Structure 1
């Protein structure tokens, strides 16, 4: 990616967080990135092209994260580590996530793009849970797809709560969340 492309993409992500997709214009992106608006069109075609580039960037990051993971075979240790990585990832890439909540139903392409991130994690988790079932570590009768989705919802719910509410009575810090909620989740999985 060129310097201009990176500047444009970073400006787009920042404006997504601040304004949402609809209110983020190519003119605002160009101004924030310090480039001519035509440079955006030349490099990304349009705002949807920027959105696709941002999602692809995020998916590349997910691929990098999961390819560097060394799983221990200890379900609690592995899921705490995966939760921590998921929280870091989703915080780093909140632009797409938050834009998805604001406008996904009005912009079908955004809705499809936002779904790619949890789907990737779902498939990774399903493969892990199947492997742990085969090894006899987690219960054989569990539906791995349902468990993968429950794990994603648990983590995504934590992210949303932290984004939306600053009240400490509603939102725990990450370490407390990992130590308590993941442990309870694992107790439901293991024999």
Structure 2
């Protein structure tokens, strides 16, 4: 990707966060990226082309994230690290994630892309929990599908709360979240 294409895509993502897809215009993108509007059309065809480029970045990073995960076999260490990586991923891709919540019902391709990460993580976590059950590390009666979804909901909930609310009592820093909420979740795996 060229520097100009990167600038355009970065401007698009910033405007997605601020305005949502519908209110993000190619004129606004051009102004923020400091390019001519025609440059956007020459590089991405239209606003949907920009969306497709942003979604492709998101999907490539989903695959890269899970391919690079190094698990230790220590449940607390592994789930704390997975939670940190989830939060980092969500923050790096908040433009697409937030646009997905705002506009996914109107844009089927965006809806399909946004669904891929929780589905991928669900399968990844189910495989991990089954392995930990087989190794006798966690409760063998644990419903791995339910616990996988609980872990995803916990992490998505933390991210969305941080994006929506900046009020003491409703949001707190990542360290607190990891030390308290993730640790409480992990304790439930051993009962």
Partner of residue 19, structure 2: 19
Flag the 1:39–1:130 CA change in 2: closer, same or farther, 3 A.
Answer: farther
Partner of residue 139, structure 1: 139
How far apart are 1:18 and its partner, in Å? Answer: 0.9
How far apart are 1:51 and its partner, in Å? Answer: 1.5
TM-score, normalised by the number of residues in structure 2: 0.91
Q: In the TM superposition, what are the counterparts of 1:120-159 in structure 2 within 5 Å?
A: 120-159=120-159
TM-score, normalised by the number of residues in structure 1: 0.91
How far apart are 1:159 and its partner, in Å? Answer: 1.0
Partner of residue 175, structure 1: 175
Kept in 2: contact 1:17–1:95 (CA 8 A): yes
Residues in 2 aligned to 1:79 and 1:7: alpha-carbon distance in whole angstroms:
35
Note the alpha carbon deviations across 1:124-176, whole angstroms, 9 max, x for none.
22222222222222222323222211101001111111112222212222111
Q: In the TM superposition, what are the counterparts of 1:1-191 in structure 2 within 5 Å?
A: 1-190=1-190
Unaligned runs of 5+ in 1: none
Residues in 2 aligned to 1:122 and 1:5: alpha-carbon distance in whole angstroms:
33
Note the alpha carbon deviations across 1:54-81, whole angstroms, 9 max, x for none.
1221222233332222111011111011
Describe the SS at the equivalent of 1:20: helix
Deviating more after overlay: 84-93 vs 132-141: 132-141
Kept in 1: contact 2:55–2:110 (CA 8 A): no
Unaligned runs of 5+ in 2: none
The CA RMSD measured in Å over matched residues stands at: 1.7
Q: How many residues align?
A: 191
Residues in 1 aligned to 2:172 and 2:157: alpha-carbon distance in whole angstroms:
12
Kept in 2: contact 1:52–1:113 (CA 8 A): no
